[in-house]
Amino acid sequence: MGFLSLSHSFLYLCSFLHLITAYNPTDIIRLDCGATTNTNSSDDRPWNLDSGSKFMPPASNDLSTISTADQQPSSVEQIPYLSARIFPSQFTYTFPISSGPKFLRLYFYSANYSGRDITKSFFTVSAAGHTLLANFSVFLSSPANSASFVKEFVVHVENSQTLQLTFTPTSSVDSYAFINGVEIVSMPDNLYLTGLNSSNTTLVGQNSRFIIDTDMALETLYRLNVGGSSIDVQNDTGMFRKWDNDIQYLKGNLMGKEPYLNFTVLYNNRTPAYTAPEYVYTTQRSMGPDQNNLQFNMSWIFSVDSGFSYLVRLHFCEFIIDIDRNNQRVFTVFLGDQIADKSVDVFRRAGGREIPIFSDYVVSVPVGNDDGIPSKQDLYLSLFPNIDSIPSYVDALLSGLEIMKLNKSDGSLAGPNPTVPGSPVNQNRKGSSSSLGAIVGGVVGGIAVIAILAFLILKRRRKVVDSPFTNLKS
């Protein structure tokens, strides 16, 4: 018993060491814009003043003002949200920084500052040769459940080793730009901007690969720990990414099962320890044994901007003890109205159990309305059991998910502002439900009918066994 306790302690230590040694960023810059003292946020991240820093332009006091939010509810984190730097005209921060890919996070709090009307603030943000936001309204873009939020981007700093971040108010007389906080964190070279190493990136709908090179910029829209609880920034792998729970994005009545196993994730060169936290891989959502799985799919729905392409990264790890060889759990991945991956056998692809893998897919979401104006549309992700190879179990699984917008050919990531009911702003850009959902429902439904017929034929010849999953083999 003492040996077992020692072994378990060693496993926990290994898990902890994976977390703290996963990645050590070369650059970490955090500015609490408009603040008067250096301080730490509630999650113990240190934030520095932008006033008087080397990142500010000369005569910055003539080009900007500082303010605190007129509304300061206790539900809003004080650092870095309650102070702001206000820009009545174009303003540029200049960051001397090492070359390579960076997370650029912009922190916003929707409030009035020194009596300025937040509803009149519209501005453009650009960095590293890309337009990140255009005609952007913090008021219209703030989530329904929170007035404070983060916009996270991935940009590449060239050999000049300088990153310029520019805020430009729209030409309206009353308009202004502002920012509450800026965070810049280095990342490994091939984490997202994989370049010629994009052998794992599938262009959905075409028999080809997609290269995400250093000329591109990305915006993080969703990062989910599927089947597990949220993971805060301090428990990421060194890059301060936040992983949300997936429950609010599930579509339909099939919630699936949420198995969890505490084990040491076997990271490797293909999936290094910085890829995602261990907790992402030790949890999952699966269809489970209590469903007639051939009649359903496990689906999530995400709101995205039409007219862009998206990197969808799916994280998997097979850890159920009954899965110990190839062709036991195989499933199909649908993105929108298209098959993204026909036969996913996680055990086979990873090379065993408790070995994490991820698969990257690039999917385009066309403008779906007649006027050609971009709008919010729904992107469906669906997993459906594939029984073509007569696997042991009728099931599917997912451990984690990331969705990142890719810039257009003109370098822009900017989409339209969401429309607030009753607001005159962007009335012609109301979000519409995409036909993608209806199409994928039809596709999956049709496949389900075919699969059920195949299942009935197989059932006459084989006894269906209820193991931990619905089982096709006797």
pLDDT in tens, 385-421: 999 999 999 999 999 999 999 999 999 999 998 876 4
Three-class DSSP labels, 129-175: CEEEEEEECHHHHCCCCCCEEEEEEEEEECCCCEEEEEEEECCCCCC
Nearest one of 357, 385, 345 to 281, comparing CA atoms: 357
What are the pLDDT digits (tens) for 187-222?
A: 999 999 976 555 678 899 987 888 899 999 999 999
Q: What is the pLDDT of residues 344-400, one digit of tens each?
A: 999 999 999 999 999 999 999 998 776 767 788 999 999 999 999 999 999 999 999
Adjacency order of strands within the sheet including 65-68:
65-68, 83-87, 177-179
In this predicted structure, the answer to whether residue 133 has a pLDDT above a threshold of 70 is: yes
Cis peptide bond N-terminal to 80, omega within 30? yes
Report CA Rg, the chain: 24
pLDDT on residue 4: 35
Cα 101-399-354 angle, rounded to 5 deg: 95
Q: Domains, the chain, ranges and CATH?
A: 26-186 (2.60.120.430), 223-415+433-460 (2.60.120)
Is 60 exceeded by the pLDDT of residue 467?
A: no
Q: State yes or no: pLDDT of 137 exceeds 70.
A: yes
Most confident by average pLDDT, 129-138, 252-261, 454-463? 129-138
Question: Residues 243, 301, 345, CA angle at the centre, nearest 5°?
Answer: 75
* pTM of the predicted model as reported, rounded to 2 decimal places: 0.86
Residue 22, pLDDT score: 84
Residue at token pair 């113990």: 44
| Confidence (pLDDT) at 291 | 63
Kindly tell me if the per-residue pLDDT of 19 is higher than 50.
Answer: no
Least confident of 21-25, 69-73, 318-322: 21-25
Q: Is residue 463 pLDDT above 90, yes or no? A: no
Where does the pLDDT of residue 15 fall: very low under 50, low under 70, confident under 90, or very high at 90 and above? very low
pLDDT digits (tens, 9 = 90+) for 244-292: 999 999 998 788 999 999 999 999 999 999 999 999 999 999 998 766 8
Higher pLDDT, 295 or 445: 295
